[in-house]
Structure 1
């Protein structure tokens, strides 16, 4: 699959990846995420401002579904964040640990997107450990959210549910949810818990938690870019209904959302994913195919590299024995599905 091309070299799925161009000495240029995680490659420490800028740039690539660009940035970013945390003066140690946690969080997000769950397990653990040293409750909550997602992906759904709910309780007790960013993160944790409950087929808990998440998100008001909005929670309704196998309701919720109003491409991609899969589950292959095409036009790397799009394309291609889905074979060729 082409999605492996994103990670090959940059994230260590092969041993022959090209090095990222850098003005640093070649020995200091990280080749793969594996090299950084296992200590084979080191980087040069950066100031807090420089590191924050590098993290922001990588996040921007991720949120814009520029997955290949984010993958190219990540090894060097992690090496620099690790070096900064090791060599920082004591008064700035907590801040440097927080930056390291943020770097590992965005790495874990990309790994999860591309279903490299094994490496995501390692980077999520690094994020949690660094966040604990950093002392920022919101960053710690985000790291724990990603760790719970890794657990859920590995079929540890009960453990994932406990972990994310404990993170929400901890964030509440440590901060009192006094600031908008704290309330917004609390809402996101509840939304993740709702989706996890749906994956566990716990219908009542899923919808109760999603209602609480929606309330928290609305209370947070104006928040930083990247945090959940009420519109994002409307997309979560599609996700929860689909995970519960209620494809009719999922399609109904999808009709209530205007994807052009979702500002973050990565979140629009989630809308297209849930909508296309719900339509397919509802037995509407033509509509599912149209949603898939819309996703490709809007967020091309989402369709080119993500497993859901690859698998759905394969299913549509296999089922289209009469050639009713005009263009499905062209799509398959474009994204590397055979």
Structure 2
């Protein structure tokens, strides 16, 4: 089986015009592992297989038909994630690895989160989250600032797993850990970053209006926009507030926050700031999200953006995928199910794990299949893959 998996990896890699070194870098695995897999002398474990598949923009089952799926592994890991934060305010145990290694592990985990690689996060998250908490409890002076940032980053990566797979109570507890850790810091950017993540609670509960108010309060006490990082942090908060306002039906407020984000993005390089993607392209993506969130009367704006522009590789895979899911919904509402299906296929190419767990993608592919306007076999195959049938 390993040889067949290796052949599939090599075929897909060449189709994407990637070298073995490119694939190793994108998947965050060693070059010898890639070479060994392709030669059939090494067999990737589930986490490695998921990482390679995500880098190749395919579901892991395309490389190994016997693969049982990320969802089962994630749900099996949820109790360990819960246990890792059970005593976060006390944490009597010492960290199990040196600080330098922990920094590297969390940096890699942030990359997994942005690439929507949830399997490795579920498997590794409890360990580096416990270690980050242990360092914060033992830190003093200037070390406290770094330790607080590490806890927030670690909890946020694990929260991505909990939130995407519907464990919203666990997600809320992880956000409380982030807020507690940020309270040990004097960094206003970090606190604004946590406020951004805190919005997940309101999105999950559909408490859009109260979520909008909570983020506006965070903006009122947020950092001064005097550095690139603080401008990006404020801009991201404005983007997310715009989405919440849109879902609350407040179009004028939503577009006002979007304009504030656009102003802050001017002149900023597209990048990752405290774990959040921000820049002019990300504002465009959120313009689509705001328009779709406001409903059918506003989808023309979303389609106008999509006709003229699409996100490039400078944008994290999860957010690229999210853009195409939003455009698919706009296309479906505008009476173009074939185009909507094309957008969902595009979304799958960028971040298959993200698409597979996205409720809108599952709901919309079911509607498209019922309309039977695109190729029936392809639609059925996609619907089976995403769990819509």
TM-score per shorter chain, which class? Answer: 0.7 to 0.9
Aligned partners of 2:342 and 2:134: how far apart in 1?
47
Aligned length: 315
Deviations 1:250-278 (A, max 9, x none): 22222122233543212211111111111
SS in 2 for 1:227: strand
Report the Cα offset of residue 326 of structure 1.
Answer: 4.2
Q: In structure 2, what is the Cα distance between the partners aligned to 1:79 and 1:2?
A: 26
- Partners of 1:310 and 1:316 lie apart in 2 by 10
Distance 1:224 1:289, change over 3 A: closer
What's the secondary structure of 2:312's corresponding residue? helix
Q: Choose the corresponding residue for 1:242, options 267, 283, 292.
A: 292
- Offset, 1:194: 0.8
Rate the CA distance shift 1:70–1:308 in 2: closer, same or farther, 3 A.
farther
Q: Deviations over 1:170-200 (max 9, x none)?
A: 223xxx2211000011111011111111011
Alignment of 1:72-221 (within 5 A): 72-89=123-140, 92-172=143-223, 176-221=224-269
- Shift in alpha-carbon separation, 1:300–1:227, aligned structure 2, 3 A: closer
Provide Cα deviations, 1:81-111, integer angstroms capped at 9, x if missing partner: 1222223355523432231122112222343
Report how far residue 219 of structure 1 moved. Answer: 4.3
CA shift in 2, pair 1:145/1:215, >3 Å = same
Report what 1:301 is aligned to: 353
Instruction: With the length of structure 2 as denominator, give the TM-score of the two structures.
Output: 0.74
* Secondary structure of the corresponding residue to residue 77 of structure 1: helix
**Is the 1:46–1:84 Cα contact (8 Å) retained in structure 2?**
no
Tell me the SS of whatever aligns to 2:328. helix
Contact (CA 8 Å) 1:279, 1:285: kept in 2 or not? yes
The equivalent residue for 2:107 is 56
Q: CA RMSD in A?
A: 2.5
Cα displacement (A) at 1:223? 5.1
Cα deviation 1:40-69 (Å, max 9, x = unaligned): 996735444332212111110111121222
Matching residue of 2:59: none
| Separation of aligned partners in 2, 1:244 and 1:145 | 20
Cα gap change, 1:317 to 1:156, in 2 (>3 Å): same
Structure 1 unmatched runs, 5+: 13-31
Give the distance between the partners of 2:380 and 2:292, measured in 1 at CA.
Answer: 26
1:5 aligns with 2:88: no
Contact 2:132 2:151 in 1 (8 A): yes
